[in-house]
Structure 1
Amino acid sequence: MMVNNRVIKAKRIVVKVGTSSLIMPTGEVNLKTFDQLAFVLSALNKQGKELVLVSSGAIGVGLNKLHLKQRPEEIGAQQALAAVGQSELMTLFTQRFNHYLTDIAQVLLTHDVFDYPVSNESVMSTFECLLQDGIIPIVNENDTVATDELDHHTTFGDNDQLSAIVASHINADLLIVLSDVQGFYDGNPKHDEDAKLLSTVSEVTGSTFAAAGGAGSRFGTGGMQTKLAAAKRMIDENRQMVLASGKDPKIIFDILNGKNVGTWFTNQPEQILKGANSDE
């Protein structure tokens, strides 16, 4: 289904940025993206939007920091690399958000935080306090400790899933996923020159997944499959998601202004999200 005029009205927004947007193909940190992301989110924050940033990139930044070309295969080495990279990642974000006079906070999560009522209530209270105070939580999986062992499930698998889970739990109006693709196509644009960018997707089915490609870049773990899984969760909960290019984070302004960019996942294309967390 195609629509020309989108009406996306949301106050509480989760923005997910992928490793491919933060790390250049050479492995260098993309400082421009860090700066533009801080600029856009700071501007929206000052407009009264409640924002959560889910950021990948710890391992990618760690690789750059330690001058490594390839992700190590051993789990312990990957977790150590993530520990180095997460510190550097937050340093970069802190520098840029401080420049725009916006406060941020780090929230590192594991899947079992949401699985147990007491820890879930605690982290939800933390999110609410930060958002009420105009502080932008920057969320990532706690890669240094996350692991799956027997029935103890702590990993999210990828940050596309993490962003959708966070959006669900904090009752966000909208999830914006910024990636290295323009949106969702009806075929693989790398191999099919006739593949068309879909403006709107109202249902994620088996055939939708079949049209998706494989895994992401060597720096990240996500791919179109994980983004569709996130979109399906949002649609099933009557929420909205937009998948768009993260090359220039100012595209977030275009999305919120209703411009026809990226792919809009919603089961009610004409819907204006209202309710407790939306502007009137």
Structure 2
Amino acid sequence: MKIGTSSLIHPNGKINFSGIDQLAFVLTDLSNQGKEIILVSSGAIGVGMDKLRITERPEQIPAQQAVAAVGQSELMNIYNQRFSLYNQQTAQLLLTRDIVEFPKSRKNVINTFEQLLKMGVLPIVNENDTVAVDEMDHTTKFGDNDELSAIVAQLLAADLLIMLTDIDGFYSANPNKNKNAVLYSTITTIDQTLMKQAGGKGSRFGTGGMASKLKAAQRILDAKGAMVLANGKPPRIIFDILTGAEVGTLFKEEEHG
């Protein structure tokens, strides 16, 4: 499960407590059904901006990392509070790209995930924004949490990646600007035409846009997995997705034979 900042933060910059509470309810119920759930959550900078009463996302990296440091602890505090209402234990994992690129550390990360899941604990994952950098000789940044969620799904051979955003799925054009935009129900191959239709970045509180979601979907397709992109308002849509309802966009390789 990956949830974007736009599903956690209202357009006015305030925290969407009802959405977070419903997410905790849904994921706990799925866990009670015996499903193994991992949540990759954006929102550290968005929550940090609200906590510090900042209306514009900082442009300088040190300022972004400072805001993320404030926001990450507050975000986990909110998650712990909401999940505890349903008696679901959570754990925080903050990752950087070098952890999953080196075999020994990658194995340790996988072991940690698997042990937490055995214990019935729901891991909540985010990039370690306070230290992650992207330099030629020292790349520790994933790029965004869309890619991070796909990498975590790959590491653990997840059955399905559900990516919740603020739009109903992948469209042929931006539905907020083009009333003739068509929602794709299923995508089996990602080509240059789709990448052009993806457009630019996402909200002012987050970093991801449709292009990053396509790149994540490509990673899932390469791993022979499946991904559903859907609107996370409200999070109860997860129940519909898992019952096979045609909501959002399903990314899955075409089955032959």
Which residue of structure 2 aligns with residue 173 of structure 1? 159
Does 1:28 find its partner at 2:22? no
Aligned counterparts of 1:155 and 1:80: Cα–Cα separation in 2: 16
Which residue of structure 1 aligns with residue 230 of structure 2? 244
Does 1:188 find its partner at 2:181? no
The equivalent position to 1:98 in structure 2, one of 70, 84, 88, is 84
Give the deviation of 1:229 after TM superposition.
0.5
Aligned counterparts of 2:256 and 2:238: Cα–Cα separation in 1: 20
Which residue of structure 2 aligns with residue 115 of structure 1? 101
- Aligned structure 1 segments of 4 or more residues deviating by more than 6 angstroms: none
Which residue of structure 1 aligns with residue 46 of structure 2? 60
Deviations 1:62-106 (A, max 9, x none): 000011101112211111110000000000000000000101100
The equivalent position to 1:223 in structure 2, one of 209, 220, 241, is 209
Which residue of structure 2 aligns with residue 129 of structure 1? 115
Structure 2: stretches of 5+ with no match in the other structure: none
* Highest RCO, 1 vs 2 (Cα 8 Å, sep ≥ 6): 1
Q: Which moved more, 1:56-65 or 1:197-206?
A: 197-206
Aligned residues: 257
Letter aligned with residue 243 of structure 2: N
Aligned counterparts of 2:87 and 2:113: Cα–Cα separation in 1: 20
Does 1:40 find its partner at 2:26? yes
Q: Which moved more, 1:142-151 or 1:212-221?
A: 142-151
Letter aligned with residue 192 of structure 2: G
Deviations 1:178-225 (A, max 9, x none): 001100112221232111111111111111111112100100000000
Q: Which moved more, 1:146-155 or 1:111-120?
A: 146-155
Does 1:139 find its partner at 2:139? no
Q: Is the 8 A contact 1:23 1:61 kept in 2?
A: yes
Give the deviation of 1:149 after TM superposition.
2.8
Does 1:203 find its partner at 2:203? no
Aligned counterparts of 1:81 and 1:269: Cα–Cα separation in 2: 45
Q: Is the 8 A contact 1:202 1:269 kept in 2?
A: no
Which residue of structure 1 aligns with residue 145 of structure 2? 159
The equivalent position to 1:89 in structure 2, one of 72, 75, 79, is 75
Letter aligned with residue 18 of structure 1: G
Q: Structure 1 length normalisation: TM-score?
A: 0.90
Does 1:51 find its partner at 2:37? yes
Q: Name the SS for the 1:28 alignment partner.
A: coil
Identity %: 58
Q: Is the 8 A contact 1:243 1:263 kept in 2?
A: yes
Structure 1: stretches of 5+ with no match in the other structure: 1-14, 272-280
Q: Name the SS for the 2:38 alignment partner.
A: strand
Aligned counterparts of 1:42 and 1:268: Cα–Cα separation in 2: 32
Q: Which moved more, 1:143-152 or 1:18-27?
A: 143-152
Letter aligned with residue 45 of structure 2: I
Aligned counterparts of 1:177 and 1:22: Cα–Cα separation in 2: 13
Which residue of structure 2 aligns with residue 276 of structure 1? none
In angstroms, what is the RMSD of aligned CA positions?
A: 1.2
Aligned counterparts of 1:55 and 1:148: Cα–Cα separation in 2: 20
Aligned counterparts of 1:189 and 1:172: Cα–Cα separation in 2: 30
Q: Name the SS for the 1:176 alignment partner.
A: strand
Q: Is the 8 A contact 1:254 1:261 kept in 2?
A: yes
Letter aligned with residue 135 of structure 2: E
Letter aligned with residue 218 of structure 1: R
**Structure 2 CA distance for partners of 1:270 and 1:191, relative to 1, 3 Å:** farther
**Structure 2 CA distance for partners of 1:150 and 1:270, relative to 1, 3 Å:** closer
Q: Give the structure with the higher percent helix.
A: 2
Give the deviation of 1:127 after TM superposition.
0.4
Q: Which moved more, 1:145-154 or 1:101-110?
A: 145-154
